[in-house]
Amino acid sequence: MIVASPKCVTEVKDILARHDNVLFVGCGTCVTVCLAGGQREVGIAAYGVRMARKLAGRPIQIEQVTIERQCENEFIQDLAEAAARNEAILSFGCGAGVQALAERFPGKPVYAALNTRFLGILEEQAVWTEKCLGCGDCMLAEFGGLCPVTRCAKRMLNGPCGGSSPDHCETDADRPCIWHAIYERLRGIGQLDRLEKIQPPKNWQPAWHGGARKIVREEHRCDL
Amino acid sequence: MIRPESKDKPDAPAAWQPEIIAFCCNYCAYAAADLAGARRMQYPPNIRVIHLPCTGKLAMEYVLEAFEKGIDGILVAGCLEGGCHFQEGNLRARKRTDKVRAMLDEIGIDGRRLLMVNLSAAMAPTFVERVNEIVNTVRSLGPNPLKAADSRAKCARESAHEGAVSE
């Protein structure tokens, strides 16, 4: 899922400085699960911003709505009336959600309340870790299902480097060495021979570096 | 809400008295408050007790809502660490109050207005002591600044209204 973290009250207050009626829009998908932009987080942020603005002598009216998914127009449509009632929209969705709202409501300022961080999973209660870089050319089959492209600080494809000690990364004592994990994983599934293959330089063409990416799946399109 | 009795003269404007909520866990602080009452122990009448099944039930929204509505201080009283009937409710409450305290500081409402304490059902004197502590702290900090902001906004609205009527 997409993992995000909330901006602080001061930053949100500054973002909304020029508006007195704002619609706070939560998203019921990834950011609800990562406790950053669901219904409750929207409510807590609204308390903070309302109080901060009142203390600053310029009260703000906040309307709160949480939709199932901000990245799909079908769900965004439900916001139309609330959006029309307010001067601006503060989105608690990921970056994709914010931009989907901005494109859906061209005449309305749309701002982001979260910092979108990474594609990851819930590791333990309230701890998320990054697992995927979205490089566009998945190599997980080569590495026992563990991604060195994302999880090795040096992005080594023929690791480990000489700095791991012995199962942790030299860049951060809290960060496991993914190459150690890959070795253990491949040993566990009886595929250590995969490590004998020298990986060639990675093809980064499908990655982000060429600009925003687009996927068209003709077999699912219905334009006749 | 019953207001604490003012000691000022009857014709003088009522002096400000702190209004404080105490969120009390059923298994410790609520019983300690009860015991303090049974033992006729004295503590300031500024406290209004809200009974919780466990401080783990304390949502951040409860605290924020109370401050937004103008409460001057909040005491959260849970079981001793390691003594929660639900294992870790008091530890969760501690983390939530820490988070809200930081938020209150950031907003401009002093985080010292929110105090979390741990005690057992037998610790009536500690309950009284902690109530005195939060009352004294809030008294030294003054009223919730949102009340003044509300008054200013009301005055501004009234003067704007009067201006519109005279025109």
Residue A91's CATH number: 3.40.50.2300
Q: Are residues A12 and A89 in the same domain?
A: yes
Which long-range CB contacts under 8 A does A208-214 form with residues at least 24 apart? A208/A134, A208/A136, A213/A136
Q: Which of B69, B36, B34 is nearest to B51 (CA)?
A: B34
Q: Which fold has domain B20-166?
A: Rossmann fold (3.40.50)
Domain-located, residue A83: yes
Residue A190 lies in a domain: yes
CB pairs under 8 A between A and B: 43
| A32 within a domain of the structure (yes/no) | yes
Q: Do A114 and A157 lie in a common domain?
A: no
Mutate to test the interface with B, among A51, A53, A125 (most CBs of B within 10 A): A51
Q: Average pLDDT of B55-81? A: 97
In a domain, A214, yes or no: no
Q: What rounded mean pLDDT belongs to chain B?
A: 90
* A207 within a domain of the structure (yes/no): no
Residue A125: inside a domain: no
Same domain, A91 and A155: no
Q: Do A57 and B149 touch (CB under 8 A)?
A: yes
Question: Which residues from chain B sit within 8 angstroms of residue A59, using beta carbons?
Answer: 153
Rounded to the nearest angstrom, the minimum Cα separation between B68 and chain A is 6
My answer on whether A106 and A171 are in the same domain is no
Q: Are residues A100 and A148 in the same domain?
A: no
Query: Which residues in chain B have Cβ-Cβ distances shorter than 8 Å to A52?
Result: 106-108
Instruction: Give the residue extent of every domain in chain B.
Output: 20-166
SS3 A117: strand
Distance of CA A165 to the CA centre of its chain: 30
Give CA–CA dist B28/B95, Å, rounded.
Answer: 19
* Model confidence at B6: pLDDT above 60: no
User: Could you tell me the residue range of the domain that residue A74 belongs to?
Assistant: 2-118
Chain B contacts of A8, Cβ < 8 Å? 106
| Res B10 pLDDT > 50 | no
Shortest Cα distance, chain A CAs vs residue B14, angstroms: 24
pTM reported for the whole predicted model: 0.89
Q: In this prediction, what percent of chain B has a pLDDT beyond 70?
A: 88
| Same-domain status, A23 and A85 | yes
Mean pLDDT of B32-55: 95
- If asked whether residues A80 and A141 sit together in one domain, one would say no
Sign of the C-alpha dihedral computed for residues A205, A208, A212 and A217 taken in this order: positive
For residues B78 and B93, the answer to whether their CB atoms sit within 8 Å is yes
pLDDT of A195 higher than 60 = yes
CB A36 within 8 A of CB A92: yes
Q: Do residue B106 and residue A10 have CB atoms under 8 angstroms apart?
A: yes
Question: Is B3's pLDDT higher than 60?
Answer: no
Tell me whether B91 touches chain A (CB under 8 Å).
Answer: no
Check residue A177 and give its pLDDT.
96
d(CA A93, CA A78): 15
Contacts of B150 in chain A (CB under 8 A): 54
ipTM: 0.87
Same domain membership, residue A145 and residue A108: no
Residues A22 and A52 in one domain: yes
| Domain-located, residue A165 | yes
B126 pLDDT higher than 60: yes
Whether the Cβ atoms of residue B138 and residue B71 lie closer than 8 Å to each other: no
Which candidate in A8, A11, A35, A47 is best for mutational testing of the B interface (most B CBs within 10 A)? A47
Q: Tens of pLDDT along A42-97?
A: 999 999 999 999 999 999 999 999 999 999 999 999 999 999 999 999 999 999 99
| Domain count across chain A | 2
Closest Cα of chain B to A103: distance in Å?
A: 32
Q: Which of residues 94-113 of B touch A (CB under 8 A)?
A: 103, 106-109
Q: Are residues A100 and A187 in the same domain?
A: no
Q: Tell me whether residues B152 and A10 touch, CB distance under 8 A.
A: no
pLDDT bin (cut points 50, 70, 90) of residue B82 is very high
The reply to whether B41 touches chain A by the CB within 8 Å rule is no
Q: Is residue A12 part of a domain?
A: yes
